[in-house]
Amino acid sequence: MSPAHDHRRRRLGGWGFEGEAFPPSPQLLAWLEDRIGPARHPVSSGPIAAPGLEGRALPETGLEPSADPLDRLAHARGQGLVDVLRLRTGRVTALPDAVLRPTAADDVAAVLGACASAGVRVIPWGGGTSVTGGVNVVAGDGPVVSLDLERMAGVLDLDEVSGLATVGPGTAGPRLEAELATRGFTLGHFPQSWELATVGGWVATRSSGQESLGYGRIEDMVAGLELVAPRDRLWLPAQPASAAGPDLRQLVMGSEGRLGVITEVTLRVRRRPDELGVDAALLPDLDRGLEAARQLTLSGLPLSVLRLSDTAETQVAMAVGLASSRFAGLARRWLRLRGIGPDACLLLMGSAGHPDDVAQALAAARSIVRSHGAVTLGRGPGEHWKRDRFRHPYLRESLLDLGYATDTFETATTWRRAAEVRRRIVTAISSALEAIDERVAVLCHVSHPYRDGTSLYFTFFLRCADDPDATVERWARVKRTANHALVECGATLSHHHGIGQWHAPGYPLEVGAVGRDLVAAAAHRMDPDGILNPHVLLDPTDRLEA
């Protein structure tokens, strides 16, 4: 089936598509049991029923609203762990009153105008993949509609000379790449949510893809865009660069629906590479791994992927599948013969382009990492990672079936502080549940490096409680600890997931009161009645357990 016309059914109450799964290996389950104990309370995956909440009256918008209870339920929450827990256990307390599906910017303008006049809140919806509460309906609010942009999708225009593609905001990653591929182009933006997330969502949350070292982040790719708000439209035409005042594109990117609805995006695209080759290496420890990653970033080599796992994540990488590949035997052999001990860290480094250029780039990269004590492992582990990189989110659902909960968060900091920030955050969240005699297992990797610093991406695991609300409370306690640690470390609250509802209370601590007020003033200018996604970014309320 062509990704441009993927009609697989989305799973309700979990990630991805029905029929897809990524079960944990026995090695991973043994690792989890050793570190946090045996799972005793599975969280059932269905059947899922919509709560009996009648939709409230809405103004006439010119669009036929969907009031189907399951459609409303599917648009009630995003894809964070607590969202899935509440969906699976029937604890969703608020639904949008209807789902509206516009087909053009004029439809969006009509909806926003009618809703502003009637005091109806509007939550823009792309792929619904937010893991920060970014699309969640809040109990106690007045009428709310979900504005699903799936019908505003596809490549609308492609300027092959300039390398510019104009795209609808509801275009998901597979459809975008499939349509660009027919003309020999790619965007090169591959977040882990790529199968489901949309162009509009990427722009609204300042997304970053797994090959960002080569292609850049979404803000590097956006040349122009259109924003429709209740009060006005903002049209920013595509320009290669401009010194005509502050770049308002940057204001829209990351605004998470508070300023308006993104209705069109012009993206900088490139010719498709012939291949993506990914080599692997083992570094003796994280400090030498970080220095090798920094040197690779500064080297100017045409690399597109750079991913360094800490020791714990290296162990889990083997347990979730690499242990059955050539990697496991090689790893054991090099650990024994080359003196790489139990603190070993896995490094993946990839290059996209013509096979000869890829081979040359990876050969140079291997030379750099060997100077830091690395043992290179060839392309086997990288091929395994490429096969599974969009399947990893399904592991969360399989673990919930068994009684383990897992979630992620991410940050960024300078190279000088990266090791210390990682240590402090791991220490903080590892002990977050000590008061209730529960343990938390924590992994970390670097996957988006820059000349001055790098991202740090954390995955944590905890056991589910017998009461789903108690599991949510455990998760919320870990998240509060993590958010506090990020602020205390001076690291950013989000590198690429956005702020949403769950990080919003910390936003003024990062940008200052003046910065927060500037964004709030822009939101008021575009949306004076405050109907657009009002609980993200600027709302200081702690909604982690909502």
Task: Count CB-CB contacts under 10 A for residue 500.
Answer: 26
Q: In terms of pLDDT, which residue wins out, 55 or 321?
A: 55
| CATH architecture type of domain 155-271 | 2-Layer Sandwich (3.30)
Task: Find where tokens 């389950």 sit.
Answer: 29
Q: CB count, 10 Å around CB of 280?
A: 28
Is the pLDDT at 323 greater than 60? The verdict is no
Share the mean pLDDT of the chain. Answer: 94
Strand partners, 456: 411
> Identity (one letter) of the amino acid at 363?
A
Digit-coded pLDDT (tens) for 133-161: 999 999 999 999 999 999 999 999 999 99
* Residue 131 or 50, more confident: 131
Give the pLDDT band of residue 1 (cuts 50, 70, 90).
very low
pLDDT score of 476? 98
- In the predicted model, what is the mean pLDDT of residues 395-401? 96
Residue 18 pLDDT greater than 90, yes or no: yes
- 315 in Cβ contact with 346 (< 8 Å): no
Reported as a pLDDT band with limits 50, 70 and 90, residue 3 is: very low
| Predicted pLDDT of residue 318 | 76
Per DSSP, 198 falls in state B
pLDDT confidence bin for 340, thresholds 50/70/90: low
Question: CA-CA distance, 238 to 99, in Å (whole number)?
Answer: 31
Same fold, 155-271 and 275-388: no
Predicted local distance difference test score (pLDDT) of residue 8: 85
Q: What percent of the chain clears pLDDT 90, i.e. is strictly above it? A: 90
For residue range 100-116, list pLDDT tens digits in order.
Answer: 999 999 999 999 999 99
Residue 317 is predicted with a pLDDT of: 86
Query: What are the angstrom distances between the C-alpha of 343 and each of 148, 307, 308, 478, 516?
Result: 47, 17, 13, 25, 42
Range name among 186-200, 340-354, 525-539 with the lowest pLDDT average: 340-354
Annotated domain spans of the chain = 155-271, 275-388
**pLDDT digits 0-9 by tens, 485-530:** 999 999 999 999 999 999 999 999 999 999 999 999 999 999 999 9
* Mean predicted confidence (pLDDT) in 228-250: 96
pLDDT at site 224: 98
| Residues 354-360, mean pLDDT to the nearest whole number | 98
- If you classify domain 275-388 with CATH, what class do you get? alpha beta
Q: pLDDT (tens digit, 9 = 90+) per residue, 430-464?
A: 999 999 999 999 999 999 999 999 999 999 999 99
Between residues 26 and 321, the one the model is more confident about: 26
pLDDT of amino acid 47 = 83
Residue 267: CB atoms within 10 Å = 27
Q: Is residue 4 predicted with pLDDT exceeding 60?
A: no
Query: Strands, E, within 10-161: which ranges?
Result: 98-100, 121-125, 144-148, 155-159
For residue 24, give the nearest of 394, 370, 374, 274 by alpha carbon.
Answer: 394
Total number of residues shown for the chain: 546
- Give residue 329's pLDDT: 57
**Is beta strand 121-125 parallel, antiparallel or unpaired with respect to 155-159?**
unpaired
Say whether pLDDT at 324 is over 60.
no
* Residue 6, pLDDT score: 61
Distances (CA, A) of 438 to 24, 26, 35, 89, 441: 21, 22, 10, 22, 10
